[in-house]
Amino acid sequence: MITASRAECLELLQRFDMPDHIRRHSLLVTEVALFLTRRLNGNSCRLDPELIEAAALLHDIGKFHSLQTGENHAVLGAKMLDGIVNPAIAGIVGDHISLDASQVAGPITESLLVNYSDKRVRHDQVVSVEERYQDLIARYAKSPSHEQLLRRKLDLYVELERTIFSHLTITPRGEEIMGITIDLLKGA
């Protein structure tokens, strides 16, 4: 079982043939998650930055294959990583698209932070949760009832955002977070 350092995670992305556009998304999700982790840990939270980095880098490892098979990409990603990485990493990968009302008030966990950070990145750009969900609805809503389900999920993510940012001195739309980018030479 690998320790899942940044280099090992990037090697796994290559081993599992992650396309460049999904890799760029994952790198930016990682930067957002690490930015928030540093801020939260500086203000009373106790989050594991190494766990967050590995899980954020690997969170969409099943995405490309799921597009071909129709499987849930989070569940598939967790299965792909089972026995290869720390089970906590695979668990976060498996949970990164699920959120329920019991979680939004906290405590803030590594899993919730990776999940939220993913909802802040549309392709390879940091956007608001609302903008990200508009894109998800436009691309994935298969019916009016499915669209309503996605809108209810958006409401949960807005609540989670309030919980996270109640521990911070910045706002969700502040330049500090909206201006995060990736250095492709450093991260790829």
Instruction: Round to whole Å and give the CA distance between 122 and 29.
Output: 9
Provide the token pair at 77: 């990603």
CATH number at residue 113: 1.10.3210
Residue 1 resides in a domain: no
With helix as H, strand as E and coil as C, how does 65-80 read? HHHHHCCCHHHHHHHH
- Cis check for the bond before 107: say yes or no (omega within 30 of 0): yes
Domain range for 97 is 6-187
Give the chain's mean pLDDT: 93
pLDDT tens per residue, range 98-147: 999 999 998 999 999 999 999 999 999 999 999 999 999 999 899 999 99
Distances (CA, A) of 54 to 41, 87, 136, 166, 177: 17, 12, 24, 25, 20
pLDDT tens per residue, range 14-42: 999 999 999 999 999 999 999 999 999 99
* pLDDT at res. 3: 66
Residue 81 resides in a domain: yes
* pLDDT at res. 177: 96
Residue 88 resides in a domain: yes
Residue 102 resides in a domain: yes
> What region, left, alpha or beta, does residue 119 occupy, with left being phi > 0 and alpha being psi -120 to 50 degrees?
alpha
Eight-state DSSP code of residue 107: -
Residue 116 resides in a domain: yes
Instruction: Round to whole Å and give the CA distance between 58 and 130.
Output: 24
pLDDT-based confidence at 61, cuts 50/70/90? very high
Eight-state DSSP code of residue 125: E
Q: Structural domain tally of the chain?
A: 1
Contact in structure between 76 and 44 (CB atoms under 8 Å): no
Distances (CA, A) of 51 to 3, 47, 90: 10, 8, 10
